[in-house]
Amino acid sequence: MIIVIDGPAGSGKSSTAKEIANRLKIQYLDSGAIYRAITYLWIAADKPEKNTFLDLLPEVDLETAYKRQTFFVELNGADITKNIRNQNVTESVSDIASLPEIRKFVNGYMRNLVLDDVYIADGRDLGTAVFPDAALKIYMDASLDERAKRRFNELQQTDSTAGVSLDEVKQNLNERDRKDQSRAADPLKKADDAIVINTTGKTFDEQVSEIIDIIQNKLKLKY
């Protein structure tokens, strides 16, 4: 069974989904981390042309696991969990994720991953394109200002050498929103049957508790 949380960058999807997984003792899948891993691979390969890069994908050894409250990512045997959160990856991930062939590769990986067990996953198009038959769909949103503050704080904690300003993070998020919503392949949008949760002005515990209540009421999952 899969529960999905979609929404724009910085809306709190990942941290919320991880906390829910911890409290309900279910598996967590970070779809954004997988796209970041592919973007990291593209950068590490010196940003090759599209067709050249796509030829690399069949040989990619991608391993993911949620352990110790962290979504670990290994690419070709190397742990890149921290590397994929760097600003250079953030600036390019929407462009790479917009390629239909990349989305097909990542979607196939995720569908195979969740064949067994109960998962909660967060992303952009999980409820509309990847898991249209998900047991429960949540769409999280927040104001651009609040999302920028969250992402800026995250960068400060995970990449202190990034040297980016809050305004630059806000501009990046605004551009990512535009690209995510306008891409031809699986654009960001709310699924018709998704429950909308606006987290602007809410504490982290408030948004987590609200979604857990929905899960318990709809699916009868307990702590």
Domain extent, residue 162, equals 2-211
State yes or no: pLDDT of 30 exceeds 60: yes
Does residue 2 sit in helix, strand or coil?
Answer: strand
> How high is the pLDDT of residue 41?
96
- As a whole number of angstroms, the distance between CA 35 and CA 94 comes to 9
Is pLDDT of 161 > 70? no
Whole-angstrom distance, CA of residue 46 vs CA of residue 66: 29
pLDDT band at 189 (very low <50, low <70, confident <90, very high): confident
Does residue 223 fall inside a structural domain?
Answer: no
- The domain tally of the chain equals 1
Q: Lowest mean pLDDT: which of 57-71, 81-95, 182-196?
A: 182-196
Please give the C-alpha separations between residue 213 and each of 204, 210, 216, 219, 222, in angstroms, as whole numbers. 14, 5, 5, 10, 10
Please give the C-alpha separations between residue 159 and each of 73, 94, 154, 163, 169, in angstroms, as whole numbers. 17, 19, 8, 9, 13
The rounded percent of the chain whose pLDDT value lies above 90 is: 64
Q: What is the edge-to-edge ordering of all strands in the sheet holding 78-79?
A: 62-67, 70-75, 78-79
Q: How confident is the model at residue 162 (pLDDT cuts 50, 70, 90)?
A: low
The pLDDT, as a whole number, for residue 79 is: 97
pLDDT band at 159 (very low <50, low <70, confident <90, very high): low
**What pLDDT is recorded for position 154?**
79
Averaged confidence pLDDT in the chain: 90
| In-domain check, residue 221 | no
Neighbours of 95 (CB within 10 A): 14
Tell me the pLDDT band of 204, cut-offs 50, 70 and 90.
Answer: very high
d(C-alpha 53, C-alpha 99), whole Å: 11
CA angle 202, 206, 207 (to 5 degrees): 80
Average pLDDT over residues 149-154: 86
Residue 55 lies in a domain: yes
Amino acid found at 3: I
**Residue 222: inside a domain:** no
Residue 120 falls within a domain, yes or no? yes
Domain assignment present for residue 205? The answer is yes
Give yes or no for residue 62 having a pLDDT over 70: yes
Tokens 């992303």 correspond to 123
Local confidence band at 223 (pLDDT 50, 70, 90 cut-offs)? low
Report yes or no on 217 lying in a domain. Answer: no
- Tokens representing 127 are 């409820």
Domain CATH number, residue 129: 3.40.50.300
Q: Is residue 76 part of a domain?
A: yes
The answer to whether 109 and 34 have CB atoms below 8 angstroms apart is yes
| pTM of full prediction above 0.85 | no
Task: Output the DSSP codes for 155-222.
Answer: HHHH-TT----HHHHHHHHHHHHHHHHH-SSS-----TTPEEEE-TT--HHHHHHHHHHHHHHHH---
Q: What is the pLDDT of residue 151?
A: 86
pLDDT score, position 222: 60
